[in-house]
Amino acid sequence: MTKELKTIVKNLPQAPGVYFFLDKNGQIIYIGKAINIKKRIQSHFSSQAKKERGWRNTIIDYSKVKTIDFIPTKTEKDALILESALVKKHQPYYNLALKDDKNFLYIGFTRETYPRIFTTRQPKKIAADYIGPFVAGYETKEFLAALRRIFPYKTCKNPVGKPCLYYHLGQCWAHLEKAKDYYKIVNGLKALIGIYNGTGAHIECYDISNTSGQLSVGSMVTFINNKPKKYLYRKFRIRTVSGSDDPRSLAEIISRRLAHKEWKYPDLIVVDGGKGQLSRLNNIPLSVIGISKRKASKRTRVSGIVHSPYGYGSVGIRQLPELVRDTILAARDEAHRFAIAYHRLRRRSQIYTNK
């Protein structure tokens, strides 16, 4: 490495981004991406890299690199997307991959009354609303397939009155009497896919806390763009339910919350519980899922099952992509914490009052 290049590398940021190798004429001969620009470029010129790749037989002829430039990005995903676009634009000599027209994956929702959901690498070819791009194409398709178990979405082109095979298998709710709730399927899908894409969604999570059915309270926590928004948290005293009845208690507080139309409605409601808790929430006008607990294995502390009132099955929480899983579990845990804190406050208040 020349003295000039050493100076450049010394001052590179340790941050995600795209970097460029330029020749003596200022032409870009290689474009790369990195989660840490400085470390990645150092690895290009390290003795170990030369030994492993073979200095003379390496893909890149480092002797032609006369200067280095870079563009920082917020995330590694942003860097990967930018790298792909810039390689296609500049066609650098030493970039063997990414020069073709293969694009990242998008998920499309057709603009019909009952939208058809599909994946494509050529967005805008079909008139639709798109979410993406997604870097991990296989993971994205697996995620979408898993979601169909709890949100039975449409893939056929059949009209609403002509059920497809997937309707009879319980995997499509865009036909006959089930079509009236299909908008919940679409909204729920968009919310979870939005979380996965990093663009986020507005979700609310609810939980109930009591002691042997006494002093029952409920909590509502709000996450927007995958982050808690504590100024939107709400707490409720259970008014109409006696004893320990979580399903009815959840139905009560969510009904009371929905009566506050001045509070912006979420894209998705999450409750702490399974089919029992969801049984009382079939008629709410928003998408809803429940997270039930399951004993964790010795290999992982992450456990749970995702249910909905619509699907034919359920999804293990570990089947979801990391960002989706972490966001949902964080919301559930925060709702649990907030409910317990309010219940303890009521218990302390009662003890003080009875003295």
pLDDT score of 75:
86
pLDDT score of 298:
54
The whole-number average pLDDT for the span 209-237 is 94
Same domain, 79 and 161: no
Residue 252's domain comprises 202-354
pLDDT score of 249:
96
Same domain, 171 and 242: no
Any idea what DSSP says for residue 345? H
What's the total number of domains in the chain? 3
pLDDT score of 117:
97
Can you give the pTM of this predicted structure?
A: 0.77
Same domain, 326 and 212: yes
Summary mean pLDDT of the chain: 89
Residue 193 falls inside a structural domain:
no
pLDDT score of 57:
45
The whole-number average pLDDT for the span 302-321 is 90
Same domain, 167 and 241: no
| CA-based nearest residue to 304, from 268, 342, 270 | 270
**What are the pLDDT digits (tens) for 255-307?**
999 999 999 999 999 999 999 899 999 899 999 999 998 655 555 556 799 99
Residue 100 falls inside a structural domain:
no
Which residues lie below 8 Å from residue 76, measured CB to CB, with a gap of 6+?
A: 16, 33, 34, 35
Same domain, 176 and 219: no
The span from the CA of 87 to the CA of 100, in Å, is 9
pLDDT score of 101:
55
| CA-based nearest residue to 109, from 149, 78, 147 | 147
The span from the CA of 31 to the CA of 19, in Å, is 6
Same domain, 164 and 261: no
Same domain, 143 and 228: no
Same domain, 317 and 243: yes
The full DSSP string for 266-329 is PSEEEEES-HHHHTT-TTSSS-EEEEE--PPPSS-S---EEE-SSSSS-EEGGGS-HHHHHHHH
Question: Given pLDDT bands bounded at 50, 70 and 90, which one contains residue 55?
Answer: very low
Same domain, 78 and 115: no
Same domain, 253 and 336: yes
Residue where one domain finishes, among candidates 122, 149, 182: 182
Spell out a b/e string for 162-196, using b for 16 or more CB atoms within 10 Å of the CB, else e.
ebbebbeeebbbbbeebbeebbbbbbbbbbbbbbb
Residue 336 falls inside a structural domain:
yes
pLDDT score of 149:
95
The whole-number average pLDDT for the span 106-128 is 93
